[in-house]
Amino acid sequence: MRAILTSLDRRWRRRQAGFPPLPWQTYLFITANIVLLSALLLDQPVGAGMKHMAPPIHFLGRMLTDFGESGWIIVVSAFLCIEGWVGSRLLKSCRCRYQAAIASRIGGFFLVSIVLSGLVANSLKRIIGRARPVHFDDWGILGFSPFSNSAAFQSFPSGHATTIGAFFAALIFLFPRYRIIFAICAIWLAATRVMVGAHYPSDVVAGLALGAWFSFMTAIVYSRYGLLFKTDENGWPIPRRPILRK
């Protein structure tokens, strides 16, 4: 552990100068306004029409929504991180050790992004205590019971959407060439939480944004240490080397 901390300290000292600032305040302001607009324009009609949703839409949502369960991603990420680290120490070939180290860092990147964003999302859900759409007739879109331990009042933000946002944002940073595909997948999978009646649109938008922000911040930290990412001239983290080669 001491050797790892010493290595990270050396990496930080080599790269601590010359990082261009990111206009994160602008992106945060835009994100907050998108969440607010979705709450004002979409939550009411979705809540009122939830009982009349077409069965095929509900069926599609039930088929896909479990992808947002964080458990399987955490297990796979932890396995990749640990196995990669062990391989980087035990394998004989320098090339294999390097590839194992990259795999370990990728696993750690997913693990940190999803675990931290999930902890924050679950904390916010309990603190805010927003009623789920199934209670729309009784509570409307502004029904709140802060610090409630009831799942019926844990709608904002969506935990599934947070996991999906963190997962696909991490993929976008690792494989920017396919960012449009990953973004579309994230939107569709997150929307299944609305299809199954578990969340309002603003819950889903907030969850996607929260997860994506955590992957973004984790990528920034990685780039500061020269792990997986480097910082471009605009301050954005980009892959140090292509992970998928032609």
**Distance (Å, whole) CA 182 – CA 19:** 28
Q: What is the DSSP pairing of strand 229-231 with strand 237-239?
A: antiparallel
pLDDT at residue 96, rounded to an integer: 83
Give bridge partners of residue 230 from the DSSP assignment.
238
201 pLDDT above the threshold of 90: yes
**CB neighbour class for 150 (10 Å; exposed up to 12, middle 13-18, buried from 19):** exposed
Model confidence pLDDT, tens digit, residues 140-191: 888 898 998 888 899 999 999 999 999 999 999 999 999 999 999 999 999 9
Q: Pick from 38, 60, 84: which is nearest to 197 by CA?
A: 60
Indicate the helix (H) or strand (E) that contains 237: strand 237-239
Model confidence pLDDT, tens digit, residues 119-148: 999 999 999 999 999 888 888 888 898 998
**Distance (Å, whole) CA 231 – CA 129:** 38
**Distance (Å, whole) CA 128 – CA 120:** 12
Give yes or no for a contact between 68 and 117, defined as CB atoms under 8 angstroms apart: no
Model confidence pLDDT, tens digit, residues 206-234: 999 999 999 999 998 888 888 888 887 77
pLDDT at residue 99, rounded to an integer: 87
Model confidence pLDDT, tens digit, residues 102-120: 899 999 999 999 999 999 9
Note the CATH number of domain 42-233. Answer: 1.20.144
Side chain identity, residue 102 = I
Give yes or no for a contact between 68 and 161, defined as CB atoms under 8 angstroms apart: yes
Show the 3-state SS of 154-187. CCCCCHHHHHHHHHHHHHHHHCHHHHHHHHHHHH
- If you search the block for the tokens 């007739």, which residue do you land on? 137
**Distance (Å, whole) CA 183 – CA 187:** 6
Give yes or no for a contact between 115 and 162, defined as CB atoms under 8 angstroms apart: no
Q: Pick from 188, 119, 216: which is nearest to 159 by CA?
A: 119
Give bridge partners of residue 238 from the DSSP assignment.
230
Model confidence pLDDT, tens digit, residues 26-66: 878 888 999 999 999 999 998 888 878 888 888 888 888 88
Work out the average pLDDT over 3-18: 50
Alpha helices in the chain (DSSP H): 2-15, 24-41, 43-49, 55-64, 70-90, 94-128, 136-139, 159-174, 179-195, 201-225
Q: How far is the CA of 43 from the CAs of 38, 48, 133, in angstroms?
A: 7, 8, 9
